[in-house]
Structure 1
């Protein structure tokens, strides 16, 4: 009796096993249409460098997604295609390009521009069309308090960056008590400045000089001279790369001797040290991510793998900046939301984004009700011997802070003296 039942049982098992093996194209994953993701980014204008770093991050994500087989939604494989448009760094242009990307390019998702001002303009357009916008580099907290439902930002609020720098500075000796601030007049720079003023004042640091300038200004000598006259312990520039370079060059030339030089944007980018040479040493900046911060990733790559992928793709030994990392992780979060939503419907993906809680190489990401990352992933970096080093918080630091900054004369000697005027017709300088 046992043999009678054994034969059909084995046959049945073989039949089931055969059914598990794909035998026709219909049982394989189908290839669907591309997922078009719009990205308004400056290809011209003052923000070109920062936008280029952001674009690098978006392209790294898209390459990884496509090399991994694309994004599979309900058995259909889709490649990612990023449609870029030059927003020239101007908010009105950025908003118009976002409109065109949605209506003409048929983008169903958006990756944000560089900067808060442009992101704010684009977020209104995204909300109108109900298209999720991944705001990679929109840091100002007001972006996420306007009642918008389709914007999601991965980086900490702009106000938290100076808080980290000041918190570190207060633990150093001698303790700083005064601060001078030069700030660009764009929304992101002003948000960072507000954080510096509010937190510094709450900790007993007096703001002895404060001045706004038009964003993009690169002649800051008059303002730096005025700041020098106040003899600040901390000299702050809240602006962008070229402005930070200009401010620091003026500080050196005019011999503004602060105990700490803290710049919002610039020091983490290789062009800063390349432009300034050894005078860039001792400068600090806050960052939401550094390659030295070893966050444990449960999805996508680790920090080390991300750095390796960046170097390979762009044929460089330089490390990626946080602008690039934030852009990549924005794409990663969008991809995960699409996969978990099992849909390409923008509203369903938006609803899934609102529920994500993920450990990434960039740190932990979970969006609050307004769409901003609720985790404060803020680190402090300092240029030491021409290299950018993570110096705070201590648990992730690769080096200790170098403080106070030596005077310019101690580092480079006395500034060159202007030549004396010559007496007319003699070729000789005046006596006395």
Structure 2
């Protein structure tokens, strides 16, 4: 009976112990939305996660072990993500996890990581709600002090500094409409944009949330036009950005300047032709940033995929850089020791500096740069130290 008790104790002890690497390889896993509302975003992250793992393996792996990356489709569904991440931990014995896309899906994945005490590093989700739950195992490299506003509030700061970039003699616009896609991320970003706009003296004449599946923004744009908005700030994903741009062109709304969260900096935006010109957008990946292996990242990406990387690629690649640095620092494949090493990092990656706050957001990142689509070309315009050309103003 005593032997049986010892055996049972060992078995249950192993069941409660975080995944430990065995054999010649270790597993890292994640889910991405290859179907569902964020499906257009997934390929960018898949490419860069895979390139990041290539980088790790070419540099000796993790503690000498080759990394095997497992990616499954979460369908932009939190429940599906939970199932995938549970399997990654329980069946595949992943020692660390990469984050999915979208704040609600990331929250689901983070809950699994927290329960099993496996570190998860997000490349995308920035909603503050993810960093107020007391999680110790979730880290977000793209979440600045602005949280969900990390990719949009800097545009408000740009407007506040109008005199520094506007054509000589131009009158500063003051009436702004702020809209955003429904969900934790969108609500957080819109709230922060509204708060910042009021702080800098702008008149918020319209604010509204919309469903990600909205196919026609005409009613909303009509309201915005009637309110006399001179500035439009949209916390948007790619598909809704396209629909908004087409609606603005069709209605011939003459805004002074427009910001769309995602779209104007992507290659496929060129399909819109001239109606897609002059839109501002988030510009997290600036050629002015030369630290953290940025030149090597660009070279490797072009060699593997035959094209230049975008900011989404850099975000995801940075996750692999963080994991590699943490394992090297911990000198261990124990997930808990990896977690502690991640929490203590102070380093440059291919697109920003990383130093995590106790809650898991990136205190080393100050928020995105701003670019403008100028005749199909992405041009950095703010802040001034990374500006590659003047702002085309007014928008129309």
TM value normalised by structure 1:
0.81
> Across the two proteins, how many residue pairs are aligned to each other?
364
Per mean C-alpha deviation after superposition, the further-off stretch among 54-63 and 156-165 is 156-165
Matches within 5 A, 1:170-249: 170-172=160-162, 173-249=170-246
Residue ranges of structure 2 left out of the alignment (5+ in a row): 1-21, 163-169
CA displacement, residues 384-419 of structure 1 (integer Å, 9 cap, x when unaligned): 12101111111121112222212xxxxxxxxxxxxx
| RMSD (Å), alpha carbons | 1.6
Larger radius of gyration: 1
1:140 paired with 2:127, answer: yes
CA displacement, residues 315-374 of structure 1 (integer Å, 9 cap, x when unaligned): 23xx32221111111111011101111111000000111100002221211000011110
Distance across 1 between alignment mates of 2:213 and 2:302: 30
- For residue 44 of structure 2, what is the aligned residue in structure 1? 53
Distance across 1 between alignment mates of 2:90 and 2:288: 40
- For residue 18 of structure 2, what is the aligned residue in structure 1? none
> 1:205, CA displacement in angstroms?
1.1
- For residue 292 of structure 1, what is the aligned residue in structure 2? 287
> 1:218, CA displacement in angstroms?
2.7
1:84 paired with 2:64, answer: no
Distance across 1 between alignment mates of 2:213 and 2:91: 32
- For residue 70 of structure 1, what is the aligned residue in structure 2? 61
Matches within 5 A, 1:162-173: 162-172=152-162, 173=170
- For residue 325 of structure 2, what is the aligned residue in structure 1? 336
Q: Secondary structure at the match of 2:187?
A: helix
> 1:262, CA displacement in angstroms?
0.5
1:313 paired with 2:304, answer: yes
Distance across 1 between alignment mates of 2:43 and 2:248: 28
Matches within 5 A, 1:273-422: 274-287=270-283, 289-297=284-292, 301=293, 303-316=294-307, 319-375=308-364, 376-406=366-396
Question: Is the CA contact 2:323–2:342 (under 8 Å) kept in the aligned structure 1?
Answer: yes
Distance across 1 between alignment mates of 2:67 and 2:111: 24
Which structure has more RCO (C-alpha within 8 Å, separation ≥ 6)? 2
Identify if the C-alpha distance between structure 1 residues 216 and 33 changes in structure 2 by more than 3 Å, giving closer, same or farther: farther
Question: Is the CA contact 1:139–1:188 (under 8 Å) kept in the aligned structure 2?
Answer: yes
Distance across 1 between alignment mates of 2:375 and 2:23: 51
1:159 paired with 2:156, answer: no
Distance across 1 between alignment mates of 2:304 and 2:207: 42
Distance across 1 between alignment mates of 2:89 and 2:260: 36
Question: Is the CA contact 1:291–1:320 (under 8 Å) kept in the aligned structure 2?
Answer: no
> 1:296, CA displacement in angstroms?
2.1
Question: Is the CA contact 2:140–2:360 (under 8 Å) kept in the aligned structure 1?
Answer: yes
> 1:377, CA displacement in angstroms?
4.2
Question: Is the CA contact 1:177–1:233 (under 8 Å) kept in the aligned structure 2?
Answer: yes
Distance across 1 between alignment mates of 2:173 and 2:129: 30
- Which consecutive aligned stretches of 4+ in structure 1 deviate over 4 angstroms post-superposition? none
- For residue 94 of structure 1, what is the aligned residue in structure 2? 81
Distance across 2 between alignment mates of 1:118 and 1:267: 25
Question: Is the CA contact 1:295–1:360 (under 8 Å) kept in the aligned structure 2?
Answer: no
